[in-house]
Amino acid sequence: MIQFPHSPQRDDKGRVISAVDWLGNRFHVGDHVLYSIHHGDTHMMALGEVLQIKAVMRPAKKYRDPEPGEQPDFVNDLADPPIGLVKYTTFYDEVTVRVRTLRTADPYCKGERKGGAWVNPNNITKAQI
């Protein structure tokens, strides 16, 4: 299960217009989302509007079992007996989301924020409003 926004969708100019949250719901720029924000020593839930979605391609190193006749280039010494693996590189999209807070769970926090903030993308969920 993927715990962060993934699978960005781009428009014809290459700008990211949507992504998929950890529950599998696709959210777009302009949609409302729920997320957690820092509040003193704790966190609280907030409702916000997606202003921008940014995606950057990042490399990730992975390991696989060698094919017959292929030499392993990495040895997992922690396994008993040690296992020879082949290291390869794959790419993934690192998605970040800029959100303007509309409402928080704190009754003393009145009104919406003027600008947006880049929030922790791991806890964004599309709001079904």
Q: Contact, 115 vs 100, CB < 8 A?
A: yes
CB 87 within 8 A of CB 72: no
pLDDT at 11: 92
**Residue ranges of the domains in the chain?**
6-56+93-126
Name beta bridge partners: 52: 98
Which residue is listed with tokens 């509040």? 39
Q: What is the overall mean pLDDT for the chain?
A: 85
Residues 6+ apart with CB under 8 A from 14: none
Give the residue among 43, 58, 7 at the shortest CA–CA distance from 119.
43
Residues 79-111: tens digit of each pLDDT: 777 788 899 999 988 889 999 988 888 777 666
* pLDDT tens figures, 39-51: 677 778 889 999 9
Q: Which of 83, 93, 81, 82 is nearest to 121 (CA)?
A: 93
The predicted structure's pLDDT at residue 40? 72
Burial classification of residue 129, based on how many CB atoms lie within 10 Å of its CB (0-12 exposed, 13-18 middle, 19 or more buried): exposed
User: CB–CB of 77/71 below 8 Å?
Assistant: no
Domain boundaries 6-56+93-126, corresponding CATH code: 2.30.30
Residue pLDDT, tens place only, 56-67: 999 999 989 899
pLDDT of residue 110: 62
- Percentage of residues in the chain with pLDDT exceeding 70? 94
| pLDDT score recorded for residue 111 | 65
For residue 2, what pLDDT is reported?
62
